[in-house]
Amino acid sequence: MAHGYQTLIQAAIGASPLAHEMGEALIGFIAQSSRFLAPVYCGDTLYPAFEITGLDTQKTTGVMTLRVTIHNQDSALVIEGEQQYLMRL
């Protein structure tokens, strides 16, 4: 069985095409919360998904909030949570 945080790294946007598309607008990772809902085993295939649920603007920056889900090969939801990123406007 994999530790929850070993599974959570599948949702690191820094390793995804999303971070490349944001380019230099992405300043940093500022918060995250997650719930570990089902076990993940060696050999499982994981499918992370991201949904932008909030964009809060400030003067020169903003905070982007993402809903994160990870399903396994059987479509079971194994992790759900939220991440926030500081963005340059």
CA proximity to 83, closest of 28, 45, 39: 28
CA angle 16, 52, 58 (to 5 degrees): 105
- Kindly report the number of other CB atoms within 10 A of residue 56's CB atom: 11
pLDDT higher than 90, residue 46: yes
Per-residue confidence (pLDDT) for residue 39, from 0 to 100: 95
CA distance 4 to 64: 24
pTM of the model: 0.87
The CATH topology of domain 4-88 is Thiol Ester Dehydrase; Chain A (3.10.129)
CA distance 84 to 76: 24
CA dihedral 7, 9, 69, 88 (to 10 degrees): 170
Helix (H, G, I), strand (E, B) or coil at 60: coil
Quick one: pLDDT band at residue 14, thresholds 50, 70, 90? Answer: confident
CA 73: distance to chain centroid? Answer: 18
Domain extents in the chain: 4-88
